[in-house]
Amino acid sequence: MKLKRIALVVTVLSASIGIANAEQISNPPVSIPLSTKTTQLDRTQPLEVMPYMESKVTGETELSYAVMSVAKKTYNEQMLQHRDAELRMHAHIEEHNRKIRGVPQRDLIKNPYTQEEIEKQIVDAINFRESIKYPINDKEYYNHIDVDKVNDLSGFPKKIPSFAKQVDIHLKPPKAIEDGRYIQVSFTGKPSELKPYIQDAENHAKFIITKGQAERVSIKPYEDVKTNCRKYVSTILPEEWIEVTNTFNNMYQYKLALSNENIKRQVNRELSNQKNNQMGFDLEQDASQLSSDKVLSNDENKALQKKYLGYYSYKEVKRPFNAEYTFYIFKFDYLYNMFTVAGMAVNPEQTRVIYFLHTVQ
């Protein structure tokens, strides 16, 4: 490994930052390089890694996009950064509310919504709500992503290489707005083919650790945090990787939600509300009306996905990481009691690489 300068010291984490599932330290300090020799150490010794250290790569590399490394910050500096982010968020919300207040409220008696306007709003809401249930795991979709608009993928490969086999991808749908969802790009190849990707990951990594080592190494988000608690790296790394099957995700509920009968029922309800000047567009779906487990054929699901989603979404199977997997950590963030870790995992045979972005509380 090329990270001999990164040292491990005893864990001291501040209780004030709200880290959950922490354990009390009882063993004395130890400071050693994090390298392949770590596997030979006494596993009873508590170690600490400081992932806020800079990675060795600062510009764009041949295989992946540049990782946006965050400079080392103290606890107080991080808190000031969080406060500034909150102030900007509240200012944005206030500006949004000001614009809304400046728009005259529609008089539903004198200027009611037409049936076509109501139907469009209902259909748009259903399309949004239903589509975010279907992850993107299509190789061709990934190859056309504009990475400048998806900062979460910094450090991931620019394209899926032509030699790649068993390509497994799990990405946020375009309409998803939730944070903290798991992102993964995985593929297999010969060790000689994957060697440049592993070397690229090593260059980007802030620290490198096996799944087994992560069970006794704890994390230190800030340089000056001091307490009697620690959180092990193993608790913030992903426990599973995703294998994509050849079976399309079932689109029956999506199709039923957009059926003429369901749309007509919701439109009539809103027209009735409007007559009483109570237009509120309650677009929550009545689950009792859509309670069916019918499974469509693969061909029909494929056609419906192309029509409604614009991409293909397949069923996925979760596979556990064993203790011998090596993790190259590109990015580490701690914000509002949430740990976000981005990096790449490699199996012991070095025949599969798994890029991931993982958020955990």
Please name the amino acid found at residue 178: E
Q: Do 176 and 218 lie in a common domain?
A: yes
Q: Do 151 and 81 lie in a common domain?
A: no
3-state class (DSSP) for residue 289: helix
Q: Do 225 and 327 lie in a common domain?
A: yes
Would the pLDDT of 29 be above 60? no
Please name the amino acid found at residue 220: K
The kind and range of the H/E element at 195 are helix 191-204
Q: Is 151 domain-assigned? A: yes
Q: Do 85 and 159 lie in a common domain?
A: no
Average pLDDT, the chain: 76
Q: Is 215 domain-assigned? A: yes
Would the pLDDT of 244 be above 90? yes
Q: Do 100 and 213 lie in a common domain?
A: no
d(CA 349, CA 343) in angstroms, rounded, equals 18
Kindly report which listed range (41-50, 131-140, 150-159) carries the lowest average pLDDT score: 41-50
Q: Is 296 domain-assigned? A: no
Q: Is 306 domain-assigned? A: no
Q: Is 182 domain-assigned? A: yes
Q: Domain count of the chain?
A: 2
Q: Is 85 domain-assigned? A: yes
pTM for this predicted structure = 0.76
Q: Do 170 and 210 lie in a common domain?
A: yes
State percent of the chain over pLDDT 70: 68
Kindly report which listed range (61-70, 239-248, 277-286, 311-320) carries the lowest average pLDDT score: 277-286
Q: Do 327 and 225 lie in a common domain?
A: yes
The kind and range of the H/E element at 331 are strand 326-335
Burial of 5 (0-12, 13-18, 19+ CB in 10 A): exposed
Would the pLDDT of 54 be above 60? yes
Q: What range does the domain containing 82 cover? A: 72-105
Q: Do 234 and 168 lie in a common domain?
A: yes
Q: Do 140 and 101 lie in a common domain?
A: no
d(CA 95, CA 102) in angstroms, rounded, equals 11
Q: Write down the pLDDT at residue 309.
A: 92
Would the pLDDT of 22 be above 70? no
Q: Do 76 and 153 lie in a common domain?
A: no
Most confident of the following: 17-31, 136-150, 292-306: 292-306
